[in-house]
Structure 1
């Protein structure tokens, strides 16, 4: 736990990528287990390669059938490059998922959303808690360094 009020140390633009999996048929293990198991391998690979562009991530669970990850990236170029690299974990996992999805008839679903957030368009506050989300990905600084209110922090990031 970090005492007091803190904010993410992030400066400049940020890319926020949400990706998730929904199990539509629990008993169809062969449809969803491979996709479920591929995400930890990708996150491990990205985390170990400092030049990957991945700043950090947070695993979250919705209902018992919904799992997702929020990822923080330096820029869209790194995110898109990883998605297409043949020698990395993502491309073969995506190809295998598509093959199973054609045969699986809706037994598992996946989704993603990408947000390109310019400097001055994001702010954060963490009050008496460990670094979380963007703060965990980029580190934290005391709120006062960026302004005591959300409006001040947003305008400070534009400079």
Structure 2
């Protein structure tokens, strides 16, 4: 057996984080895509106009547009800057996600370990969206459970976590959190603990007809999943981290991304541990 798959990110003392350093791009620029925030901005524009002479009415819009234009130009001209939120966490080249062994090595067997994909979500089917009655309390309970899972990720076998936001009609919105676990027993154990039970009891005790909740569980055996990422900020299973011990016995967190530029990981079927016809390899 040759050397194992090559990791794309170096091991670290804590799981890698991929949050943008520049909060302007992550928050202010979304004014042009998030309908509710545009309405709030319009309200403050009207307030500004009502309190100051009409000659000043263009100031808020001019400042916002100028800031948008300047930062867009800066980000365009400096793609390799560590402060560029669009490129700062990109992992160059082709990568795929594999689960490391307890030692932190990846071996040479694609998809050797099974996993569980768990989607947990909430919908606010209301014209006020996340400002609707009960929404704030629901979000607080979601985030409390999420924070507890993150604190105990090794205990509960949590590999990766991803947040997704969606909107079907105007201000009606949804939040979905995708978790990757080592096994379904950990999810079941967490579901019966106090924090989750209190959130469940609160939801069923208030009966908000416009708040919907859902979850989906997919148990994926070994050699039954594959991933490919090309010049991407880590996402999905590729955002995962597993606690391991190096040869000196020191704790380290190993990211799941490995280079896909190796024959054993070159194609979808190879990454599934299968032959060209889709049959499992012996």
Fold conserved between structures, TM > 0.5: yes
Partner of 1:154: 272
Residues in 2 aligned to 1:79 and 1:116: alpha-carbon distance in whole angstroms? 11
Q: Establish whether residue 96 from structure 1 lines up as the match of residue 202 from structure 2.
A: yes
**Structure number with higher strand proportion:** 1
CA distance in 1, matches of 2:281, 2:187: 24
Residue 121 of structure 1, CA deviation: 0.8
- Are positions 1:56 and 2:160 aligned together? yes
The 5-angstrom pairing of residues 7-156 of structure 1 reads 7-10=96-99, 11-27=112-128, 29-49=132-152, 50-63=154-167, 64=171, 65-86=173-194, 89-101=195-207, 104=208, 106-138=209-241, 139-143=256-260, 144=262, 146-155=264-273
Which whole-Å deviations, capped at 9, do the CAs of 1:83-102 have from their partners, x for residues lacking one? Answer: 0012xx2121111111112x
Structure 1 partner of 2:87:
none
- Work out whether residues 22 and 66 of structure 1, in 8 Å CA contact, stay in contact via their aligned partners in 2: yes
8 A contact 1:120–1:158 mirrored in 2: no
TM-superposition CA deviations, 1:44-78 (whole Å, max 9, x none): 11111121222121000110411111111110000
Q: CA–CA distance in 2 between the matches of 1:16 and 1:109?
A: 20
TM-score scaled by length of structure 2: 0.51
The CA deviation at 1:145 is 6.8
**Counterpart for residue 94 of structure 2:** 5
- 1:30 deviates by 3.3
TM-score (norm: length of structure 1): 0.88
**Alignment: residue pair count:** 154
Larger radius of gyration: 2
Q: Distance in 1 between matches of 2:138 and 2:181?
A: 22
The unaligned stretches of length 5 or more in structure 2 are 1-89, 100-111, 242-255, 275-279
User: Which of 1 and 2 has higher RCO (CA within 8 Å, sep 6+)?
Assistant: 1
Cα distance in 2 for residues equivalent to 1:26 and 1:147: 47
Change (3 A) 1:158 1:119: farther
Contact 2:124 2:132 in 1 (8 A): no
